[in-house]
A and B are shown apart, each in its own frame.
Chain A
Amino acid sequence: MPNDSQPQLVNVQIDDVWHQFPKGTRLIEACEQAGSYVPRYCYHKKLSSPGNCRMCLIEMGMPKMGPDRKPILGPDGKPEINWMPRPQISCATDVSEGLGVRTISPLVEECRRGVMEFLLINHPLDCPICDQAGECRLQEFSVEYGRQDSRFLEHKVKKPKNVVLGPRVTLDDERCILCSRCIRFCKEIAHDDVLGFVDRGSHTTLTAHPGKRLENNYSLNTVDICPVGALTSSDFRFKMRVWFLKETNSFCTSCATGCNTIIGTREDVIYRQTPRENDAVNSTWMCDYGRLNFAYLERDRRLLEPMVRTENKLQPATWPHAIASAATQLKPYVGWQTAILASGRMTNEELWLAGRLAESLGVTLIDIVPRTGEADDILLSADRNPNTNGARLLRLASGSGTVLQQIKEAVWSGQIQALITLGENPLRCGITPEYLARLPVYVVLDLLANDATAQASVVLPSLGFAEKRGSMINGKGRLQRLNRAVRGPGEARDDWEILRDLVQAISGGNSESHARSGRLDTIEDVFRQMSEAVPEFAGLTLSRISDLGVQVLNGDGKPGNSAPEKMREREPEKQPQ
């Protein structure tokens, strides 16, 4: 599969129907593609297959061979199959020519019932308090293959409960069914081999190596892949039952990788973020840093209403008043007296409108604030701005931050009289309160109150990544879409609406650009206007960007993202278990 462009197809019979699969497909995957889902616990398509849970047992057969070593053909012209007397596991077998599989048969059903009974022998009756309830494989398959009553009369084995494995993961050993997915994940994906089994038989216990903790930046992926409730997220633990969560497809905005996510919310409160499969971006994983980076959306420091400085004090104002006030304060200055500090965290639509704002004011000093951190060779990118590529494409980013330095110097020298910051705190890039004190006009569009917003002339509260729609281009040039998972707090408005109103208030509703592109009533209109000007977006609309994104820039030579295209799929096992 990986080397040749034309994969060789083999014929496989699954539940009496012949299918064709590329050579090298795992049998369990082939069955799933053919519509016969085979239950499994230990198998995960991105990890190696140890074959230890025995849940995926199926009946298998090879073509009957005649004396001439050719398959004997049946009346339908297809090979007749010689069924093996014993069941085989489907997760550790690849498809081969003429293979026959039965996923529904009395023997297979009996095997599954037997495996379930063994798994449930020592499983505690924790479902009412278990966070996994509702998305638990053991629950699901015990509905299908479990017994109503228990034949087990002895005492269940006691194991440690509520074990703190690391700063973000809590383990309940009694619930563990010893599938070893977490152990393999740590070894193969996170390259931090800290988990393992100790003791034998029913007493086998999952634990961390003595003196070590599960504290790598990918530890919460073990919670996702745990088929039962053994590994739980300390952050999400006991917060909300999963069946209440509304799931919204989105992506993580904590670095340039842009891992695809599902945001779990209930009634405008975000409870968790989990990775969503996208082989072009993040496989099925995401880092803990990005996953837990949503609490700031609910902080007490959120700006809830627009404010205008009157009599040297920030006073709450209505939206029309705040926009009009910002426009009248900005208008008297010519282009070289104004600077805009945009952000690599803004969506393309917002950056586009920031560009229009700069146009209407004649501003040339506009830049985004670079934000960097340490990269790893898994997913985390050194560029912590999710949309640096978008800002570059829309020509708002200088790249090396030279314009940023110019802005800083110009503010100090007094050349800049008006500063607009869009979702950035200028104190973080060296523009200190003394600098800000020199500015007669300072307009802020931001989420959170801080020392800089306290010095503003006009404060325009905006929305966070989970509260709005919009698109961004990740480090590898993939255009992805944010979807609104929750409503914004208070009177905070969508960033693009604020920017549109500001542009219209400054340039007047009948300006040339306005007349040229029509009205901007929805964010779709903004994207349409942008796609008419930017060839990379030609033919796209915001709604047409699929949940898996669209490649708009070629990923070559783009700095910041070193995530492998497809992580560890079907790599041969280096050491047998």
Chain B
Amino acid sequence: MAITVSRPKLNWSERLYLPAILGGMAITFGHLKNMLLGRTKVTMQYPEQKWDSQMPDHYRGAPALVKDEGGRVRCVACQLCEFICPPRAIRIVPGEIPLGERFAKVEKYPEKFDIDMIRCIYCGMCEEVCPEQAIFLRKDYAITGYTRAEMVHDKEKLIEIGGVMHGLVLKWNEKK
């Protein structure tokens, strides 16, 4: 069914169009004033100038595996991130920590942990789903490589990007 759109009824001053033109000019002159006073934000010259220092806290860069203060890679290979990952970028091969090792109480660790950065869409679901506070999206954004294989971050690379995170819940210490 056709819908009849009623046109707005313009009053006398609106039909003159002058107030709207003046309003637009006011904005233009406002910008001119800001530019003359040096308050206008300008384009950054990216490769030479970087915005790393101004990056917001919620910025989602490359996912990475973090260590806690105790030096333990927090991942226990529960594979929830592998399960939730929408583009299926994550691949984990779980392994068992041998008895007698320093973190043997945790029992399980990732033998292999690969994230295919060509597939990764930086959605942050892996961070959200992680029950162990082990995977976080860090602020690395310039992920490049010459080959597809280079774009797959293996466990060592992920730990290197991740670094040490402080103030996490220490659920696997001996008292608990």
Contacts and interface: CB of A to CB of B under 8 A. Distances in A.
Interface in A232-261: 237-241, 243-244
Contact of A129 (B82, B106, B175, B176): B106
B131 A238 contact: no
Contact of A241 (B83, B96, B171): B83
A128 B99 contact: no
A1 B176 CA distance: 51
B176 to A, nearest CB: 8
Given A129-B106, A244-B83, A239 B94 contact: yes
A314 interface: no
Contact of A128 (B78, B82, B83): B78
A565 to B, nearest CB: 41
Interface residues of B, number: 20
Interface in A109-146: 125, 127-129, 133
Contact of B131 (A127, A162, A243): A127
B79 A238 contact: no
Interface in B104-119: 105-108
Contact of B76 (A128, A155, A237, A239): A128
Contacts of B127: none
Given A238-B108, A243-B83, A129 B78 contact: yes
B108 A129 contact: yes
Contact of B78 (A161, A162, A239, A241): A241
B171 A125 contact: yes
B77 interface: yes
A127 B76 CA distance: 11
Contacts of B107: 129, 161-162, 238
A238 B132 CA distance: 17
Nearest to B131: A128
B78 A238 contact: no
A128 B132 contact: yes
Given A162-B99, A238-B108, A128 B80 contact: yes
Q: Please report whether the interface of chain B is mostly helix, strand, loop or mixed according to DSSP.
A: loop
B114 to A, nearest CB: 15
Interface string B165-176: 000000100011
Of listed A127, A241, A244, residue having the most chain B CB within 10 A: A241
B96 A238 contact: yes
Contact of B79 (A127, A155, A244): A244
B163 interface: no
Interface residues of A, number: 16
B53 to A, nearest CB: 36
A241 B80 CA distance: 9
Interface in B46-88: 76-80, 82-83
Contacts of B171: 125
A517 B105 CA distance: 65
Nearest to B104: A162
A244 B93 CA distance: 13
A264 B89 CA distance: 23
Contacts of A238: 77, 94-96, 107-108
Contacts, number: 38
Contacts of B78: 127-129, 133, 241
Contacts of A127: 78, 131
A129 B76 contact: yes
B79 A241 contact: yes
B83 A237 contact: no
A161 B104 CA distance: 11
Contacts of A133: 78
A239 to B, nearest CB: 7
Contacts of A244: 79, 82-83
Nearest to B83: A243
A398 B128 CA distance: 64
Nearest to A237: B96
A237 B77 CA distance: 13
Nearest to B134: A128
A240 B176 CA distance: 26
Contacts of A237: 96
A195 to B, nearest CB: 22
A61 to B, nearest CB: 43
Contacts of A241: 78-79, 83
B3 to A, nearest CB: 47
A398 to B, nearest CB: 49
Contacts of A129: 76-78, 106-108
Contacts of A161: 105, 107
Residue with the greatest number of chain B CB neighbours at <10 A, chosen from A129, A161, A240, A243: A129
Nearest to A162: B107
Interface in A132-169: 133, 155-156, 161-162
Nearest to A239: B94
A240 B76 CA distance: 13
A204 B153 CA distance: 46
A325 B83 CA distance: 48
A133 B131 CA distance: 13
B75 to A, nearest CB: 9
Contacts of A125: 171
A129 B171 CA distance: 13
A139 B94 CA distance: 22
Contacts of B132: 128
Contacts of A162: 99, 107
A561 B76 CA distance: 45
B125 to A, nearest CB: 16
A290 to B, nearest CB: 25
A407 B80 CA distance: 57
Contacts of A155: 175
A524 B115 CA distance: 43
Nearest 10 CB-CB pairs, A to B? A128-B78, A129-B108, A241-B79, A128-B131, A129-B76, A238-B94, A238-B96, A128-B76, A238-B108, A129-B107
Interface of B: 76-80, 82-83, 94-96, 99, 105-108, 131-132, 171, 175-176
Given A125-B171, A238-B96, 19 more contacts: A127-B78, A127-B131, A128-B76, A128-B78, A128-B132, A129-B76, A155-B175, A161-B107, A238-B77, A238-B107, A238-B108, A239-B94, A240-B79, A240-B94, A241-B79, A241-B83, A243-B83, A244-B79, A244-B82
Interface of A: 125, 127-129, 133, 155-156, 161-162, 237-241, 243-244
27 contacts: A125-B171, A128-B78, A128-B131, A128-B132, A129-B76, A129-B77, A129-B106, A129-B108, A155-B175, A156-B176, A161-B107, A162-B99, A162-B107, A237-B96, A238-B77, A238-B94, A238-B96, A238-B107, A238-B108, A239-B94, A240-B79, A240-B94, A241-B78, A241-B79, A243-B83, A244-B79, A244-B83
